[in-house]
Structure 1
Amino acid sequence: MTNVNHASSRVTPLLELRLFYYDFLRRTFLMEPTKDFLVFVKNSMITPDFPLASEREMILEGVQQIKNYLSKNDIQSETVYNDLHWEFTRLFIGPYQLPSPPWESTYLNEERLLFQEETLAVRKAYLKYSFLPVEFGHEADDHLGLELDFMFRLSQLCLENNDENGVDLRQLLMDQKSFLEEHLLQWVPKFSHDMIQHAETDFYRGMGKILRGFLTLDLEALLELLKIYS
């Protein structure tokens, strides 16, 4: 039990960082930015050293771009709010052809259609943990925001199970690793590239870089955590 408790105390800060990032990213991509969300981003960026930014050049570049945007734009103003709202709509919703569609299936099947085999595979992963998206039946399960929300929920479970014998936690970590490798990392790098290329503000260019940088870093973190609980 002593060894387990020691391992728990070692990994808790990392588990908390993972939870912060998945919360940050799911809120970025689940829906159009609200004023509360923009305040959340600004408050998160106030700290001199944004968490894990020094661990990945792409995260650092993204953070710097967003900070630069925030230093030049008042997020409390209606003009800036409307600009970011339109940017999100143009990139991820429509009505025009989307430059960076936020669904896994649009990147992984030749027809670029929704609700395909990829969507069902994501749904199967969700159902193992009784995760049912809020927009079930209306929004495809493989929407980026929902996939990030799923990882956020599993990250929450990791923290809750980080005080016993490591058995449940190891399975949670393995399932997150599998979901990253089989889903998010199969398409997000291309999505992120498209997003960065077509975004018109440093706010969303930066978000695209943080997204890609963190997911590649998180895979390494999960591998390290699995070694601890092997």
Structure 2
Amino acid sequence: MTDTGKNDARPVLVEAFSTLAACFDIPTPELAARLSSLVESLSSLAPEAARLAARAAGAAPDEADMAEARIEYSRLFVGPFSLPAPPFGSVYLESEGRVMGPSTMDARRMYQELGMDLADDFHNPPDHVVAELEFMAWLVYREIEAETRNDAEAAARAREARALFAARHVKAWFDEFLTRVEQNTDHPFYASLVPLGRAIMMTDAS
């Protein structure tokens, strides 16, 4: 991302992390619009990321091919058989590659320490890619919101928490997850998320 000032970049990071989370959730017809909005937000700050977001927006499923996209989503990330690209951090962070390992519990502990927890209708482990990306978005938002209240201490806590969570969790495994997606899909939408995901992670200095 070009250096246009931290305050300019952070609102875009909120949108970028949240949109990326939606892209790795069950496909919906709203994805194309969300990605198109992200293109506009990124255009002056990170032109290459904006170009990749535009490519993903063009590949996003519409009503006509939503069923095919959901089949590919299930094949890659849900099962019931072996998963080509498991969306759980513990698979990559635990030596035995198991779900719900100590790193999973650590992610949930970090959510709870900052007053967050999983929604009642979210039925995946705490280290699911959607949860971790949404948490990153929330931490950036929390920093911005604290600064609007002139609460420098709360802003610093949010900034430090994001750096710690990124280092211990999402940035520690997200790239390997994207590699698994890249190696195991020919679907244009999911293939387009690989470079976009990497570009978005590059925009965050935490």
Structure 1 unaligned runs (5+)? 1-9, 223-230
* Match of residue 53 from structure 2: 63
Shift of 1:216: 3.1
Q: SS of the residue aligned with 1:35?
A: coil
* Match of residue 181 from structure 2: 195
1:23 to 18, 22, 26: 18
Counterpart amino acid of residue 29 in structure 2 = K
* Match of residue 131 from structure 1: 116
Q: Deviations over 1:97-152 (max 9, x none)?
A: 11110000011113221111111111111111121112589421111100111112
Q: SS of the residue aligned with 2:159?
A: helix
Contact 1:64/1:206, CA 8 A, preserved across alignment: no
* Match of residue 145 from structure 1: 130
Query: What number of residue pairs does the alignment pair up?
Result: 201
CA distance in 1 between partners of 2:33 and 2:161 (Å): 33
Superposition TM-score, scaled by structure 1 size: 0.77
1:212 to 179, 192, 198: 198
Distance 1:60 1:11, change over 3 A: closer
Greater C-alpha Rg = 1
Contact 2:146/2:154, CA 8 A, preserved across alignment: yes
Higher RCO (CA < 8 A, seq sep 6+): 1
CA distance in 2 between partners of 1:174 and 1:150 (Å): 14
Instruction: Map 1:180-191; keep pairs closer than 5 Å.
Output: 180-191=166-177
* Match of residue 227 from structure 1: none
Shift of 1:217: 2.7
Contact 2:42/2:50, CA 8 A, preserved across alignment: no
CA distance in 1 between partners of 2:41 and 2:132 (Å): 29
CA distance in 2 between partners of 1:184 and 1:63 (Å): 20
1:33 to 27, 33, 47: 27
Counterpart amino acid of residue 142 in structure 2 = L
Shift of 1:65: 3.9
* Match of residue 93 from structure 1: 78
Q: SS of the residue aligned with 2:98?
A: coil
Shift of 1:49: 6.2
CA distance in 1 between partners of 2:41 and 2:123 (Å): 40
Distance 1:35 1:180, change over 3 A: same
CA distance in 1 between partners of 2:43 and 2:81 (Å): 35
Counterpart amino acid of residue 144 in structure 1 = V
Distance 1:209 1:51, change over 3 A: farther
CA distance in 2 between partners of 1:184 and 1:18 (Å): 15
Q: Deviations over 1:55-105 (max 9, x none)?
A: xx6x467436425536xxxx4342x21121112111111122111100000
RMSD of aligned Cα (Å): 2.5
Q: Deviations over 1:163-222 (max 9, x none)?
A: 31522111110110111111111111111111112121221112122112222331x2x4
Structure 2 unaligned runs (5+)? none
2:102 equivalent to 1:117? yes
